[in-house]
Chain A
Amino acid sequence: MVLKTKMLWRFKFVVVAALIMVWLGGCSGEENTKNNQGAQSNQSGEQNNHGDNVATTGEPDELTIYAYNDGIGLNDGAIKYIEEKTNTKLNITTGIGEEMESKLNVMLASGDIPDIIQYQTDETELKYAGSGILLPLNEYFDKAPQLEASRSEEVWQAMTHADGNIYTVGIQTPSVHFVTMYRKDWLDKLKLEVPTTIDEYYAVADAVSNGDPDGNGKKDTYAFGASGELGRYFDHVFGAFGVLPDYWMERDGRIVNGTVQPEAKEALLFLNKMYENGLIDPEFITDDGNRNKNKFKAGVYGAQANFIWVFDSNNLNNYYTPFKEANPNGEWIEGPVLKGPGTESVGMRMLSQRGWLKTSITKDSKNIDAALRLLDWLASEEGNRFVNYGLEGEHYQVDEKGIIKKTVEVEEAKKYGIDKFVLAKSVSFDTATPRFLEVKDFTEKNALSEPADGILVPEIGKFGKDLKAYTNTEYLKMIVGEMDIDKEFDKFVQEWNDRGGKEFTDALNAAYQERK
């Protein structure tokens, strides 16, 4: 009996010890969040202080900015230079990727509203504009003439909301940045021509995947890979069949989504065949953008749709140089839009004129004038060139043809802060080589424009992301053969419509007819 009590006591000790351990574990986890919260509230406290400062003439105006984080350092030479030029003092908080908008939401919800904010999606823009926190820029264009001049009438048209106001400056990229491309050196080795029809493409894809074009005796090359998200990497195949998935197109005067067109089914069957025969990198499902990019640079792919940057030997994004280093004999050649079976083929998708990143001034900002001054300078020719390339003589030189040659290494340019602070940047091809411009024109000429671009309906926010995610998963299932395309494609279309696709399409069409 005594023994038993003693034992029980010991077990109690163990239980308590275990509880303490669990508690300590939980505690250390909590501590992290606590610290984070502390740091955040400190930060916001600081910002509030700055916001309360009333700027006096001559003194730099303080601006709080929530910006896209491309590695902005507050002590970057570039930031200092911009502050000097615009007589401002910038307090910048940053976010990146999917976290960007959630962080901004939290900041806004806690009442801590920066003077200038950046975000990425139309959904968010609609939400903020609807809540009335954004400044209608069109009413202030007289104070920022260079900003107005930096974008075409057409672009401003696409930025205009249903209430007739423009709330955002879109940060654009080239309108098309993908092109169908082939490894010229592999084609030569395998004695193949650049394909023009989808059947020829299959033969080429098969040869570059299974014909050991790199001559190392291993099956380690593929026609193409992707980064889990469906989008652009498959456009050359879908385009041959006449549709682009997750893209609005006009059919008989009506806007329809390429995702649910019957031609998409044919394209999926084709892709499934490619996948089954080992022509698509099986890691395309698990690869992220970076891994895909690295494989591209390493020379794994041979017949793909991918970024046009690889044709630009002056490129800052650095596709060309690493690719050449890994594949000294490697050379890419662009290919035409592939002809499909009977239907009309379409080219690459165009990026929205509204830009991939958006900048707004908030309505209740105490420094609207300073914010406009900053954006105006950044959008000016001088400002834009500075943001893109730095200072002439110090970071770049202009050669006799007017092409900008960078004179500093990529790392050094980054250290100074070049091409990071993209508040009002417009795309510029001053460094591009003639070969790059040739390819760019080639793909732009063939690209399929999106009739719904710039039409903002609330359904975008309601259904957009959900439908995209749903399509992505179901399409991947069909490509890898987890779903019988012949049997289940129609069911997929039905479900897509039920999940709001139909409502979305109808709303877009109504707005489209109205705009016409």
Chain B
Amino acid sequence: MQLQVKMTKMLQLLLRDKNLYFMLLPGLVYFIVFRYFPMAGLIIAFKDYDIFKGIQDSPWVGLDIFREVFSSSDFKDILFNTLLISFYKLIFGFPVPILLALLLNEIRFRFFQRLSQTILYLPHFISWVVIGGIMLTLLSPNYGIAGDIMRLFGVEPFNLLGSRDYFRSILVVSDIWRNAGWGTIIYLAALTQVDPTLYEAAVVDGANKWKQTWHITLPSIAPVIILLLILDIGRIMNVGFEQILILQNPLVRDISDVFETYVYRVGIQRGEYSFTAALDFFKSVVSAVLIISAHRISKRLGQEGLL
């Protein structure tokens, strides 16, 4: 009886908002077809997959392939590189858009604000292939500006991109240069939502700019910051395939190879599908664990979660 009431209620709700649900449908279909359905392919991580036999007829090997992955000499390097580069990108890259947004928000001259904002986020639209070419030229010790600067300071010019000491820093800096401006957009949107009366009240109470930022602006956009942090932590295993693939060279391969580049090189190019499927499976599980924990923590901190 109760169930029936519930069902009728649900049906009524469904009917009432049928247009909205209808609009939701394409999104759902998209996720099921392109995101959930391909997951079935993960079974090749448990099989000795041979392209000529097909997924069906390839023999099951249980967890053998996972054992092979975890004992391979490359695995430790890749995991370490992935976490380290991601960690650097998060530590140095995450605060930059917030700072930029706060600075942009303080510009009172509208035209200049728009202009600088546009200039800041334009690099986001340049593909890594192009940026890679530009960087190769800029950082060239013989012909690039980097070589000129080094000579100016009396340093013997050396190849920055071919240096094991600097390569990861270059990855982080170029990533910030490309994406920080784009990241400000969401914060700027959040900043426009801050109630101006709060600032007025603060001014009356004698708060200076710094105090206003600290006590009003930042707390006001905190939910957005937390949300983006959760998203970033969920992506920590995805370091940026294109960037590393393009900037990489054989000298720094062992210190810059991450899951994505390794899977591409070994899985796609060499055709070791099962091995890399297992590797990627591991990566996805870690990502899922990370994102769920980040969500839990943010809830505990009293912020809005993601799920």
Contacts and interface: CB of A to CB of B under 8 A. Distances in A.
Contacts of B189: 14, 17-18
Interface string B49-60: 011101000000
A101 interface: yes
Contact of B231 (A22, A108, A131): A22
Interface string A49-83: 00000000000000000000000000000000000
Contact of A283 (B51, B140, B268): B140
Contact of B73 (A22, A30, A34, A499): A499
Interface in B98-148: 136, 140-142
Given A101-B269, A480-B162, A285 B51 contact: no
Contact of B162 (A15, A21, A98, A282): A282
A285 B270 contact: no
Given A133-B52, A480-B162, A465 B251 contact: no
B218 interface: no
B250 A283 contact: no
A374 B181 CA distance: 56
Nearest to A3: B195
A374 B158 CA distance: 53
A286 interface: yes
A480 B250 contact: no
Contact of B142 (A109, A133, A281, A480): A281
A143 interface: no
Interface of B: 30, 34, 50-52, 54, 73, 136, 140-142, 157-159, 161-162, 164, 185-186, 189-190, 193, 195, 220, 223-224, 227-228, 231, 249-251, 253-254, 268-271, 304
A220 interface: yes
Given A11-B304, A477-B251, A108 B51 contact: yes
B150 to A, nearest CB: 11
A429 B147 CA distance: 43
B117 to A, nearest CB: 15
B43 to A, nearest CB: 15
Contacts, number: 104
A283 B268 CA distance: 28
A454 B84 CA distance: 44
A15 B271 CA distance: 41
Given A18-B189, A285-B249, A105 B159 contact: no
A105 B250 contact: no
A22 B253 CA distance: 31
B159 A108 contact: no
Nearest to A105: B271
B73 A109 contact: no
A15 B52 contact: no
Nearest to A34: B34
Nearest to B159: A282
Contacts of A7: 193, 195, 220
Given A34-B34, A105-B51, A472 B250 contact: yes
Given A109-B52, A282-B157, 19 more contacts: A11-B223, A14-B223, A15-B224, A18-B189, A22-B231, A27-B30, A98-B269, A108-B51, A108-B52, A123-B270, A133-B52, A228-B250, A282-B141, A282-B159, A285-B159, A286-B136, A286-B249, A469-B253, A472-B250
Interface in A455-488: 465, 469, 472-473, 476-477, 480, 482
Contacts of A101: 269, 271
9 contacts: A3-B195, A17-B186, A102-B269, A109-B54, A127-B271, A282-B162, A283-B141, A291-B136, A499-B73
B276 to A, nearest CB: 12
Given A131-B50, A283-B162, A473 B140 contact: no
A77 B161 CA distance: 44
Given A98-B269, A281-B142, A473 B250 contact: yes
Lowest 7 CB-CB distances: which A-B pairs, in order?
A285-B162, A109-B51, A131-B52, A476-B251, A10-B193, A282-B159, A472-B250
Interface string A220-231: 100000001110
Residue among A17, A228, A286 having the largest count of chain B Cβ atoms under 10 Å: A286
Given A101-B269, A131-B50, A282-B162, A15 B250 contact: no
Contacts of B254: 473
Interface residues of A, number: 47
Contacts of A132: 52
B269 A220 contact: no
A480 B251 contact: yes
Nearest to B139: A286
A480 B166 CA distance: 14
Contacts of B251: 228, 285, 473, 476-477, 480, 482
Given A131-B52, A133-B52, A286 B159 contact: yes
B224 A11 contact: yes
A356 interface: no
A442 interface: no
A469 B142 CA distance: 27
Interface in A267-295: 281-283, 285-286, 291
A415 B253 CA distance: 39
Interface string A119-142: 000011001000111000000000
Nearest to B141: A282
Contacts of A220: 142
Nearest to B192: A14
B229 to A, nearest CB: 12
Contacts of A13: 193
B72 to A, nearest CB: 10
Given A15-B304, A133-B52, A477-B251, A286 B185 contact: no
A465 B266 CA distance: 10
A470 to B, nearest CB: 9
Contacts of A291: 136
B78 to A, nearest CB: 14
Residue among B51, B190, B228, B268 having the largest count of chain A Cβ atoms under 10 Å: B51
A18 B186 contact: yes
A127 B270 CA distance: 11
Contact of B268 (A12, A21, A102): A102
A229 to B, nearest CB: 7
Nearest to B190: A14
A132 B50 CA distance: 12
B304 A482 contact: no
Contacts of A30: 30, 34
A127 B52 CA distance: 10
Nearest to B247: A286
B186 A21 contact: yes
B193 A11 contact: yes
A282 B270 CA distance: 30
Contacts of A482: 164, 251
Contacts of B271: 101-102, 105, 124, 127
A302 to B, nearest CB: 15
B159 A14 contact: no
Given A15-B227, A473-B251, A499-B73, A21 B164 contact: no
